[in-house]
Amino acid sequence: MSRSHYAGIDVGGTFTKIGLLNRQGRLVAKGQIPSDGFSDKKIFANHVKDALVRLCRAHGLRWGDIEGIGMGLPGPVDTDRGMVLSLTNIKKWERFPLAASLGAVWGKSVFLDNDANCMALAEARLGAARNARTALCVTLGTGVGAGLIIEGRIYHGPFFLGGEVGHIPIARGPECACGGAGCLERYVGNSAILDRAQRLLGPKITLEKASALACRGDSKAKRLWRETGEMIGWALSGVVNTITPEVIVIGGGVAKAGSVLIDAISETIQRHAMKQLKKKVCVKKALLGNDAGLIGAALLVKS
């Protein structure tokens, strides 16, 4: 029974999720701990290891049963050197050889990647894009995260920023934190959708309520999500024409708006992409939900 499981860690600004994946790709255990004090790498290493050991014990496993540990981080990662390039929530981790350092302390191989890339890997191996060799996974939230899977593997590119479709410019629009302007994220990030929702549906609306209203058939709420989907579809048509993904997976909280959003993305791609490609590409809702990042982090061990 030795080395029968992979551990995943999904590091967030407020909470860090941990989980154990068996060889069949099933998440057999999960938990979470507060990310307080994680700027201190010693505190991080100790707290996360303790939590993982407890999780192992609670499921009849020993530390020795863990083959390796994968970790998803909310920022770009130099996967060749196992090094975080930039993080907004956790200070002092940048350009530090985190994978090697944690690996030495924990006595395990440690693999790092960006959290959106982890989600994409999980959806490509076990979720909505299973069996697709080339897939794009877009995660809608405060920002627009994305991961690109090419020939079954995460595409990082030479600067570890491959697949960042959230920063495709779609208009001569406002400046973006990435250094560009008019990026897709400025139009379909949560705060931009909320601004439009408040104009259409009143000042007290939330995105959850707007999703629920759309699911019940409210015409203004449906218009909100249809317009959001059209902007995403417009940007992704260019991705379809260049990368030729077989599947585009849409995940994140906003995807709860359901078929109206997914249909608008799909129909816009049908209007704008090359005719040979629009018949091939399929837009799907993410399958693995909030566990995708954790599952994908664990999958880094064997990817």
The site for Zn ion (CB under 5 A) is made up of: 167, 176, 178, 180, 183
**Largest pairwise CA distance in the chain:** 58
CB of 141 to Zn ion, least distance (A): 15
Tokens 């860690």, residue?
9
- Closer residue to Zn ion in complex, CB, 19/143: 143
Q: Which H or E element spans position 162?
A: none
CB of 185 to Zn ion, least distance (A): 5
CB of 183 to Zn ion, least distance (A): 3
Give which of 89, 84, 98 is closest to 13, Cα–Cα. Answer: 89
Sign of CA dihedral 43, 47, 49, 50: positive
CA distance 82 to 59: 29
Hey, which residues does 7 pair with through a beta bridge?
A: 20, 69
Q: Are 27 and 20 a contacting pair, CB within 8 Å?
A: yes
Tokens of 273: 């992409």
The torsion defined by the Cα of 98, 101, 106 and 109, in degrees rounded to 10, comes to 70
CB of 287 to Zn ion, least distance (A): 28
- Closer residue to Zn ion in complex, CB, 84/183: 183
- Closer residue to Zn ion in complex, CB, 145/245: 145
- Closer residue to Zn ion in complex, CB, 176/221: 176
CB of 145 to Zn ion, least distance (A): 12
- Closer residue to Zn ion in complex, CB, 181/274: 181
CB of 178 to Zn ion, least distance (A): 3
CA distance 48 to 35: 10
> How many CA atoms does the CB half-sphere of 117 hold within 13 Å?
28
- Closer residue to Zn ion in complex, CB, 183/188: 183
